[in-house]
Structure 1
């Protein structure tokens, strides 16, 4: 990062594991201190711990789609997919949103408790 000669320089330091995954980031914080966040990996789950010790865990399925996120203080969400990978249901803190698709994989309907039911239509070209 550019700086003037008489200014204090700030650096962000990142560390990676043997296979190139991020494991920690240290950056400047208030009052001349630094803040470090860390990332740990356990199978299909990744946990990020921020400088305050709050943890966020993201779990993916075998093809890399997010199936669950656990936030600090107990908040969570889950995603459910059909056999071809379309997102068909999201549950956030017990509130469920569902989606439906046509044979081509185009979203045709979404039922969202906050926004109501949405329908989608497409022409013969899928637009």
Structure 2
């Protein structure tokens, strides 16, 4: 269990480094929020989500899918609370800023779904 969590954590940190590096090299915009903080939040939260699902899976394998759904809701809530001032303030985001916000979300969401799906299908 610990070995898989460490492996997935390394995978997410590599995804963070690669994704942020490419994203910041391609996009040359003056964003109203920190792209590094967005990527860092999604990387750390992805590791926490996987570790929680792995822990629930080891004790209650039938409930691990529900744990994943619960963690996704908590992750969205934490994102809104943490980035409330920088992302969800009164200034309307431009289309480019919205796209730059969604790219890391989907990048880590797909990676999370793949590793959690692999875990849940290893019965």
TM more than 0.5 = no
Select the structure that is richer in strand: 1
Higher RCO (CA 8 Å, separation ≥ 6 residues): 2
Larger Rg, first or second structure (1 or 2): 1
Select the structure that is richer in helix: 2
